[in-house]
C-alpha cells in the first residue's frame, strides 16, 4: 500500500490482515542548531519512502533486555508508526499511543498496533519523542528566550505528532475527529499534561491515562535543580552552558545517570515544566478554568509501588530521607500517612501503600476532580486484581492486551509479575471492551462490566477485580489534601 502524506509518498508492509507503516518522520531531525528547540515540520522527499522498519528511537540508556534492543538510538528520532486495516469504508477511530519509561526511556515500537487494527478496526499510531535532557531540560534562564520552552520539548514533539495525525490520518483510513491519546506511566503523564496546554486544543478528542496524571509537572525551580546537576555531572560551569549545544548525545545520557545518587532519583528528575508559557504555573487551576475538555478515562492500580520497591534498593525500607527526596515540601504529610497506616497493617504494606497513594493515586484524583469541575466527563478506575506482586504499576496493560492463543501451547513464566492467570481472562476481556467503547464513543460503558458512572460530584469509580463494581464516595487516601499540583524539589 502506498499513501500520499504531506511530506511525500510512503509505502507500508502488508501483514496478515492489516498494513503497517514504520518510521514515518513527523518532524525534522532536532539536531545541530535545532537541539533543545521546538520541532519544525519534516523535510519533504521525492519518490516513495519505504516504511518497512522502525525508525531510530530517542537517545536513552541501552538495555539489552528490552523489546527490540537493536533499534538505533539517535537525536533524529521524531518518527511514528501507523497500523491500519485499510482505507476502504467509513473513517475509523484513531489511537495515538504515547510510550512510558520515566521520561528517560521507552519507544513507540513497544506496542502491537496490528491487533487493534485487525480485531477492533482502529487506526493505531505510536510515536517516539525526545527524552531526558534532550526532551525536558529547562534552559530558558541560562540560554535565553530562544530556549524558553526547552523544558517541554518532549511535549512539543507530541504536539507535532498529533498535528501530523490531524493532517494525514484520513489518508490511512482514520477519522481525525475521533483521536484518542493513550499512555501508561510517563506516557499517561504526558497524556494528562495535554489538558493543561492550550496549544493541544483540537488535537485530540478523548484520552486514557493509565497510572499517571499531572504529578510529574515540575516548577521552574525544580527544573533548574536538574539543569544544575546535569552541568555538574558534565563538569561544566553555568557560564559554559552553551557547550550543551554540541556535547555528544551519548555523554548527555551518561551525565543523566549521574544527576541523582540512585536510579529512582534519576527517574524523577525529568518531566514537563510549568514554564508559564506552554504550561501554566498552576496547571490544575488552569484546567478548572477551561471548558469543553475532551472526555478522560483515568485510573491507578492498588499496588503501584510494588514493582519499584522490588527493583530499587533505595525504596525497600521505610526511610524519612527517601520521603524527603521524593516529596520535598510535602514530606511531613506523607510520613504521617505512613505512621498512621503502620498502626493498622504490616510495615511493608504500609510503606508500599503510602508510596502508591502519594506517587499515583492522589495525582489521579486531583486531575479527575479538576476536569470534572469543568463539567467534562471523567471516568475513574482502580485496579485491584493483579499478579504475583498484586496490581503493580503497569498491570492494567497486561489485562488490556491479554490474549490467549488456543492453537498452540506457549511456555510462560507464571511467576512473572505481569503474568495473567486464566482466572483473570474475563476481567481482561471486560477491560478491553470498556477501553474500546471509550475509544469509539467516548464512554467506557460496555456489556461485560457493571454500569460505570461518571466520576462527577459523587466521586464514583469502577473497582476492577474478578468481580468488578462501581463504588460511590470511596474513602480518599490518607493525605489526599497533599498538594502535588507541581513537582517541587528542595535544594
Reply yes or no on whether 286 is catalytic: no
Give CA separation, 379 vs 158, 180, 224, 339, 476, in Å.
24, 15, 35, 31, 16
State residue 184's pLDDT score: 96
Q: Can you give the pTM of this predicted structure?
A: 0.94
Write down how long the chain is: 491
Per-residue pLDDT at 483 exceeds 60? no
State residue 100's pLDDT score: 95
In tens, the pLDDT along 279-288 reads 999 999 999 9
State residue 326's pLDDT score: 85
Give, rounded to a whole angstrom, the gap between the first and last alpha carbons of the chain. Answer: 55
Q: Out of 148, 185, 376, 460, pick the active-site residue.
A: 185
Is 70 or 474 the better-scoring residue by pLDDT? 70
Burial class of 364 by CB neighbour count within 10 A (0 to 12, 13 to 18, 19+): buried
Residue 262 pLDDT class (50, 70, 90 cuts): very low
Spatial distance between the Cα atoms of 35 and 247, rounded to a whole number of angstroms: 10
**Orientation of helix 186-193 relative to helix 153-168, angle to 10°:** 70
Average of per-residue pLDDT across 45-51: 97
CB 50 within 8 A of CB 13: no
- Cell triple for residue 468? 468488578
Average pLDDT in the chain? 91
Taking the domain 2-294, which CATH number applies?
A: 3.40.50.1820
State residue 69's pLDDT score: 84
Q: What percent of the chain has pLDDT over 90?
A: 82
Residue 7 pLDDT class (50, 70, 90 cuts): very high
Give CA separation, 308 vs 215, 223, 265, 355, 362, in Å.
17, 23, 12, 10, 18
Spatial distance between the Cα atoms of 251 and 394, rounded to a whole number of angstroms: 30
Average of per-residue pLDDT across 372-396: 96
Per DSSP, the residues of 199-235 read GGTTT-SEEEEES--STT-B-HHHHHHHHHHHHHHTT
CB 162 within 8 A of CB 207: no
Residue 63 pLDDT class (50, 70, 90 cuts): confident
Spatial distance between the Cα atoms of 224 and 270, rounded to a whole number of angstroms: 11
Average of per-residue pLDDT across 298-317: 93
Is 414 or 358 the better-scoring residue by pLDDT? 358
Q: What percent of the chain has pLDDT over 70?
A: 93
Place of cell 493525605: 479
State residue 480's pLDDT score: 42
Give CA separation, 373 vs 77, 363, 369, 410, 483, in Å.
38, 15, 6, 48, 17
Per-residue pLDDT at 268 exceeds 90? no
Spatial distance between the Cα atoms of 466 and 483, rounded to a whole number of angstroms: 33
State residue 486's pLDDT score: 46
Is 442 or 313 the better-scoring residue by pLDDT? 442
Per-residue pLDDT at 478 exceeds 70? no
Average of per-residue pLDDT across 310-328: 88
With the C-alpha atoms ordered 275, 279, 283, 289, is the resulting torsion angle positive or negative? positive
State residue 324's pLDDT score: 87
Average of per-residue pLDDT across 201-226: 95
Longest dimension (CA), the chain: 69
> What are phi and psi for residue 486, nearest 5 degrees?
-140, 135
The number of helix segments (H) and strand segments (E) in the chain equals 16, 14
In tens, the pLDDT along 321-378 reads 889 888 888 899 999 999 999 999 999 999 999 999 999 999 999 999 999 999 999 9
Spatial distance between the Cα atoms of 455 and 445, rounded to a whole number of angstroms: 13
Spatial distance between the Cα atoms of 399 and 165, rounded to a whole number of angstroms: 28
In tens, the pLDDT along 219-228 reads 999 999 999 9
Q: Where are the domains of the chain?
A: 2-294
Spatial distance between the Cα atoms of 140 and 373, rounded to a whole number of angstroms: 33
Amino acid at each position: 500500500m502506498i499513501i500520499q502524506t504531506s511530506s511525500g509518498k510512503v509505502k507500508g508492509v502488508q501483514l496478515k490482515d492489516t498494513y503497517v507503516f514504520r518510521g514515518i518522520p513527523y518532524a525534522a531531525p532536532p539536531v545541530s542548531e535545532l537541539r533543545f528547540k521546538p520541532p519544525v515540520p519534516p523535510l519533504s522527499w521525492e519518490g516513495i519512502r519505504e516504511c518497512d522498519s522502525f525508525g531510530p528511537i530517542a537517545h536513552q540508556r541501552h538495555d539489552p533486555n528490552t523489546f527490540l534492543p537493536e533499534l538505533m538510538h539517535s537525536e533524529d528520532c521524531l518518527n511514528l508508526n501507523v497500523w491500519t486495516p485499510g482505507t476502504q469504508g467509513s473513517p475509523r477511530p484513531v489511537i495515538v499511543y504515547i510510550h512510558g519509561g520515566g521520561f528517560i526511556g521507552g519507544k513507540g515500537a513497544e506496542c502491537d498496533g496490528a491487533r487493534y487494527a485487525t480485531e477492533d478496526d482502529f487506526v493505531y499510531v505510536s510515536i517516539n519523542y525526545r527524552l531526558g535532557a534532550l526532551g525536558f531540560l529547562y534552559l530558558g534562564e541560562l540560554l535565553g528566550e530562544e530556549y524558553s520552552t526547552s523544558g517541554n520539548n518532549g511535549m512539543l514533539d507530541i504536539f507535532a505528532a498529533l498535528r501530523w495525525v490531524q493532517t494525514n490520518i484520513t489518508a490511512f483510513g482514520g477519522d481525525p475527529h475521533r483521536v484518542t491519546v493513550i499512555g501508561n506511566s510517563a506516557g499517561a503523564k504526558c497524556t494528562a499534561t495535554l489538558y493543561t496546554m492550550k496549544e493541544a486544543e483540537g488535537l485530540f478528542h478523548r484520552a486514557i491515562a493509565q497510572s499517571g496524571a499531572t504529578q510529574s509537572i515540575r516548577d521552574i525551580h525544580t527544573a533548574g535543580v536538574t539543569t544544575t546537576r546535569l552541568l555538574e555531572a558534565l563538569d561544566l560551569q553555568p557560564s559554559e552552558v552553551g557547550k550543551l549545544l554540541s556535547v555528544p548525545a551519548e555523554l548527555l545520557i551518561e551525565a543523566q545517570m549521574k544527576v541523582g545518587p540512585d536510579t529512582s532519583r534519576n527517574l524523577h528528575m525529568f518531566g514537563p515544566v510549568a514554564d508559564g508559557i506552554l504550561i501554566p504555573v498552576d496547571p490544575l487551576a488552569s484546567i478548572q478554568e477551561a471548558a469543553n475538555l475532551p472526555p478522560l478515562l483515568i485510573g491507578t492500580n492498588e499496588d503501584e509501588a510494588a514493582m519499584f520497591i522490588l527493583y530499587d534498593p533505595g525504596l525497600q525500607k521505610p526511610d524519612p530521607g527517601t520521603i524527603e527526596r521524593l516529596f520535598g515540601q510535602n514530606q511531613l504529610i506523607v510520613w504521617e500517612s505512613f505512621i498512621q497506616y503502620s498502626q493498622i497493617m504490616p510495615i511493608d504494606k504500609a510503606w508500599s501503600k503510602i508510596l502508591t497513594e502519594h506517587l499515583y493515586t492522589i495525582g489521579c484524583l486531583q486531575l479527575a476532580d479538576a476536569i470534572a469541575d469543568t463539567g467534562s466527563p471523567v471516568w475513574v478506575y482502580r485496579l485491584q486484581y493483579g499478579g504475583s506482586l498484586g496490581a503493580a504499576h503497569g498491570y492494567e496493560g497486561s489485562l488490556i492486551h491479554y490474549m490467549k492463543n488456543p492453537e498452540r501451547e506457549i511456555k510462560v513464566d507464571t511467576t512473572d509479575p505481569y503474568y495473567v492467570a486464566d482466572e483473570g481472562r474475563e476481567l481482561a476481556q471486560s477491560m478491553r471492551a470498556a477501553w474500546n467503547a471509550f475509544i469509539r464513543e467516548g464512554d467506557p460503558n460496555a456489556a461485560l462490566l457493571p454500569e460505570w458512572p461518571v466520576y462527577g460530584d459523587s466521586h464514583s469509580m469502577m473497582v476492577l477485580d474478578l468481580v468488578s463494581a462501581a463504588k460511590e464516595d470511596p474513602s480518599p487516601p490518607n493525605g489526599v489534601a497533599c498538594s502535588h499540583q507541581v513537582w517541587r524539589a528542595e535544594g
